[in-house]
Amino acid sequence: MPCTSKNVLNSYKIRDMLKGKIALVTGGSRGLGKAIVETYIRHSCKVAFTWTNSRTEAETICDLYGDIVTSFQADALEYDRAVQVVNETINKFGIIDILVCNVGGASDRPIYEIDYDSFDKSVRMTLYSCFNYIRAIANHMKSNKKGTIISVGSINGLRGREGNVGYCAGKAGLVGLIKTVAKEMGEFGVNVNLVAPGYIDVDSQKATNELIKQLVLDECAIRRLAKPSEIADVICFLGSDMAKNITGQTIVVDCGQSI
């Protein structure tokens, strides 16, 4: 997008609306999660984020940004640990204004091949990882009568994809979870939304076969692959007061891949 004066003014407006807010991002050390963390920091937020195995990447982010960022090693499938992370973030920064649930994963096969454990693991990674942090933070935002919850879903939770039955089931479950939580938390001034990206051109996709990438491009109305920073911009906007009237929605950001 060209850098017009209007775009610059809108960027400053979002920054002004986010300045001083506290964001908690799960899975924030690499890929899309890192882009989300850095985008909120760039808009004058303080950020806490979780990581599981990528200690070096997490420490690099913390060293770069200093006291305005903190990180926690945490398995998103452990509810008690989610409660600890929420409480420790509040102890450090005083409040959590924005929660971004970005953890997900899959160990999938087609329905006629997948075993119970693989299906269970995929659903838990994509659905329970989000539930755990929303449940852990719900009473905090309820008491403060404000807050924003954003979950990262997938277009494949809306349309399905062969060979990913557990992942797609979990991502589809997020749609119902987010809509219900939006209804339940709305009276307390809390916005709850889902961002559903298509294929994202992240480092972890570098090994993806070029034929697969071309098939993705052929699906896209806009013939390009979305960058992590572009998805993060939408998530950043949803965390601002500019989006205060948006709740219970699934925002598809996929270059038209799913239409």
Report, as residue numbers or ranges, the catalytic residues. 167
* Cα 47 to the center of its chain, rounded Å: 14
Q: What count of residues does the chain have?
A: 259
- Residue 201 corresponds to which tokens in the numbers above? 């051109």
DSSP H helix total and E strand total for the chain: 10, 7
Report phi then psi at 256, rounded to 5.
Answer: 80, 20
Torsion angle of C-alpha atoms 60, 50, 116, 197, degrees rounded to 10: -80
- Residue 227 corresponds to which tokens in the numbers above? 């960058």
